[in-house]
Structure formats: structure tokens, C-alpha cells
Amino acid sequence: MSKKNEKLIKIISQFKNKKILVVGDIMLDKYIWGDVTRISPEAPVQVVSVQAESYAPGGAANVANNIAAFGSDSYMSGIVGKDIANEILLKEMRKRNIKTEYIITDEKKPTIQKVRVIGQRQQLLRIDYEKGEYLSKEIENKILDFVTNKIKGIDGVVISDYAKGVITKNLMMNIIKLCKGNKKIVTIDPKPQNKKFYKDATLITPNCKEASEMTNIEPDSEKNVLKIGKKILKELKAPVLITRGEKGMTLFETNGKVMNIPTKAKEVYDVTGAGDTVVATVTLALTSGATLRQAAIIANHAAGVVVGKVGTSTLSINELKQSLENE
């Protein structure tokens, strides 16, 4: 194993000592697993014979799940509805050692659910339950109070924005200000329509499609990918890590340096939640003393592991270390 990778493994070993707060759009992922047996006589659609159902924390809660899976202290703040899905979701989160005391029940909204039907290891259909409206001022203030009271006792904050209403301009500006004032890492998994909210973050981690929409530039050449990253960096005054699927990742630093990182994925079964794994891993790496480049390399290894799994997946510290050791 190279000395470079030995350093990265030392950084990963620090993950378990870290405390990270995730703020964002919490969802419940439901999976219906089955076999496709025939075509329906009622319509030209597949009939799935259901074998099992399972649940997992989704959206921002999957970021918190990835953090907890590394053995770190994972705190979640956001909203759920007053419904059965809320009860299932909170139970699933607590089962995975995610701290839920900063989650607020909003009686005017349902708990966001993503229901996926899986047959023969392939996703056949997705059904969404959601009501995408911005938070009331009262709930926004409660979340901000949570962050204000918690900031000194944590190592970093992840903003997981799915544009479902939790991340408002006022909340975002205040969280970034709090993090900078207390010298805490703040990373953002963004949504293009909210891009103006993210100025001065420690790191922004869009996928290629999101980065393209943030700049109105098509990522159809390496030259254009460079333009995209540099434009986001200039506008938001923050480093950018663009995740690019089979092309790996590209990191843009404020000093003008650009680094391309080839993918580590050997097989890709499911990209569900891969961006959540990236922002969780890169945040833990940065709070553990990694440079931006080291953090990006570690996150790239983590993404390579999770896309080889089916469903909303996480990985352990040992799996991450093994990926580096096997390089």
C-alpha cells in the first residue's frame, strides 16, 4: 500500500470520533421486492409478485445514515408529517443510531416517501408522496435554534437540499454564518434552484446534471465541465466537487487548481443515494483533518463501494479502508 493511502486510512480512522449535524429534507425510502411473473391482462404492464418489503432513511436522512454507519455521532434536523410514515421513519433512524431529537413534526405536511418497486434486482417503478412547500417561519426558527445551540458541540454540518422546502435562504445564510463564526465545516449537497443560498460554504457537491443546471452549460466535453466548475466556484465563492458517474469526480479549488479523480466502481447496480454517501464521507474526512483533495479521493472510494449495492446503501469504515488497501 502506498504512503499516500496509509495517510488516507489514518484520516478514516478518525471518523468514529466525529459529531456531524445534517439539516435537510428527510424522506422515507420504501422498497417493494418481488418477481416479475407475467404481463397484466388489464394493461401492458408487468405484474410483480411481492416477496418482501423494507424501509430505509432516505433523502437527507440517508446522509445521516451514512455518517452513523461509519460509527460517527449523527444528528438529524428537518421535518416529518404527523402520519404512519413518520413513525416508521423515526424507528428506522433510531435503529441505525441516528439521533432524532432535532426533528420537528409539521402537521401541515406529509412525511415525504419514495416507494420503489424492485423486480429481478431492477427498479421498475417509483411512487412519490410529498408536498413541496417552504417551511413556516416558526419551524424555520426552531431548526435555526437547534443549530445555534448545537454548533459548539459538533465538528461539522451537512446541508442536504432536495428542494422539498426545508432549506430556505434565511436558514441557509444563518447556518453558513454560524459555521464560519465557529470555525466548523459546512458542506452542501445542492439543488440548482437554490444555488444562491450556498455562498461561502466549505464545499459544494453537485452531480454533473445539477452542476449543468446551476450554470446553464451542457457538460458535453471536458472543456465545458471545466467551465461549469469554475463558474460555480466564482459565483458561490466555494470549492466544488462535481460527481460524474462513470467519469469519477472533478474537484475545483479556490486557488484555481482542478483535479480529476477516476471512478473506483467495479460494478454499478444502483446509484440511489450515492451523492448522499459522497457528501457524508467528504464531510467526515474534512473534519478529520483531510485536505480537500484527500477528502475527495476518500469520498470517491466510498461512492465506488455503495454503487455496487442495490438500494439506499451505506458502507462501513472497514469497507472503505479495504477499498484503499486494494488499490
Tell me the per-residue pLDDT of 163-187, one tens digit each, with 9 for 90 and over: 999 999 999 999 999 999 999 999 9
Specify whether 276 is catalytic. Answer: yes
Q: 310: domain CATH number?
A: 3.40.1190.20
Look at residue 43 in the predicted model and tell me its pLDDT: 96
Residue 253 grid cell:
479549488
Residues 82/107, Cβ–Cβ less than 8 Å: yes
Is residue 31 in a domain?
no
Q: Is the pLDDT of residue 230 over 70?
A: yes
Is residue 181 in a domain?
yes
Average pLDDT over residues 282-296: 98
**pLDDT > 70: what percent of the chain?**
96
For residue 60, give the nearest of 121, 138, 136, 114 by alpha carbon. 114
Is residue 116 in a domain?
no
Q: Is the pLDDT of residue 266 over 70?
A: no
Is 99 in a helix, a strand, or coil?
Answer: strand
Look at residue 273 in the predicted model and tell me its pLDDT: 64
The neighbour count for residue 170, using CB atoms within 10 Å, is 14
User: Per-residue confidence at 308, pLDDT binned at 50, 70, 90?
Assistant: confident
The neighbour count for residue 82, using CB atoms within 10 Å, is 14
Is residue 248 in a domain?
yes
Residue for cell digits 451523492?
275
Residue 24 grid cell:
435537510
Is residue 17 in a domain?
yes
DSSP 111: P
User: Cα separation of 86 and 81, whole Å?
Assistant: 6
Domain containing 21 equals 3-26+59-109+132-325
CA angle 212, 199, 185 (to 5 degrees): 105
Of 99-108, 227-236, 310-319, the range with the lowest mean pLDDT is: 310-319
* Type of residue at 209: K
Q: Is the pLDDT of residue 115 over 90?
A: yes
Is residue 22 in a domain?
yes
Catalytic residue among 29, 73, 270, 276: 276
Domain count, the chain: 1
Helix locations, the chain, DSSP H: 3-12, 60-69, 84-95, 137-150, 169-181, 208-215, 222-236, 274-287, 292-306, 317-325
pTM equals 0.93
Residues 225/219, Cβ–Cβ less than 8 Å: yes
User: Per-residue confidence at 245, pLDDT binned at 50, 70, 90?
Assistant: confident
Is residue 115 in a domain?
no
Upper half-sphere CA count for residue 158 (Cβ side, 13 Å): 36
Look at residue 26 in the predicted model and tell me its pLDDT: 97
Is residue 33 in a domain?
no
User: Per-residue confidence at 3, pLDDT binned at 50, 70, 90?
Assistant: confident
Look at residue 265 in the predicted model and tell me its pLDDT: 64
